[in-house]
Every structure is written in C-alpha cells, then in structure tokens.
Amino acid sequence: MKKNSALLLLFVPILLLMAFNPQRELTTKTFQSTLYDSIVTMDKLWEDAYNNCKMDVMEDIISEDLEFYHDQGGLLTSKQKLNEALQQNICGKVNRILMQGSLEVYPIKGYGAVEMGMHAFYNSKEKIPNDLHYAKFVHIWKREKSKWRITRVISLH
C-alpha cells in the first residue's frame, strides 16, 4: 500500500500539470507559426523559381494532382501543360511579387495548408512599376511525405 501511495503522490502532480496545462494554447500557436513560416518559405521558393525560370524547382513544387483555376484562362488539370505554359509564356518575360503583409496561412487537418494573399506580375525586362495591379490568389499546399506541394491554385485578376 505504501508503494502505491508513493507512486500516486508522484504521478498525481504530473497528471494535474498535463490536464491543466496553460501551455496547451502555446503549442497550437507554435504549430500555426511554424506552419506559417513553412508556407512563407515555400512561397519565396516558388517566387524565386518563377522569376528566375527554375523549371526543376517549379516542377518539384507542383503536385501531379494539380487543379489550376484561372479567372481568365479557365481550368487546367495537367502538370505537364502548366510547366509548358510557364516555360513558353513566363520564363524570362514575367516576374511575380508578393504584396507585403497580405499572406494568410491556415491549416487543413490531415492534408496541409491554405495560403491566401495578393500578388502582382510585371514585365521582367523592366523595373518594378510604381502602379502594380495586385490580384488575389489561393494556393492549397499538401504535405506529401517530407515535401510541400501545390495541389490547387485559384488565380483572380
């Protein structure tokens, strides 16, 4: 009995700390800031690849299960066709710039994350214009094994 009492006295404070842990909210906030930082990093990687025609990087980021919704161009579901369009129409011609402070990231349990923000595009042969037209975008990111990949894009102008 004394042995059980001693074990009980040892474990009760630990159980109480676990049950009434005020740090539990911090864990959620830490996860969300880590997720946010991860998606910001991926967005920077995407933008650098987009602006510098790093097709291998873009190809690695884009999921085979792509759906790209463009308000003017319609729906594209082929990773290969998107890569061809990027190579032919974007590389060396168009740059993307993210609007500072516009990025929002939300977790999707068991899948990945939603990234929303504003970005603008401009002729890469010219300096960044003062009157950029920012447009809304949504990227759905899926965590596939140890990599983040874009599975869905909604691009609005």
The enclosing domain of 30 has a CATH number of 3.10.450.50
Do the domain assignments include residue 145? yes
> Which domain, by its residues, includes 74?
25-155
- The pLDDT of residue 7 is 41
Please list the ranges in the chain whose pLDDT falls under 50: 6-26
Domain count, the chain: 1
Do the domain assignments include residue 14? no
pTM here?
0.78
Asked whether the beta carbons of 141 and 151 are under 8 A apart, the reply is: yes
Distance of CA 137 to the CA centre of its chain: 12
Do the domain assignments include residue 9? no
- The pLDDT of residue 31 is 54
Q: Could you tell me the two tokens for 47?
A: 């933008």
Do the domain assignments include residue 128? yes
What is the spatial distance between Cα 86 and Cα 75, in angstroms, rounded to a whole number? 15
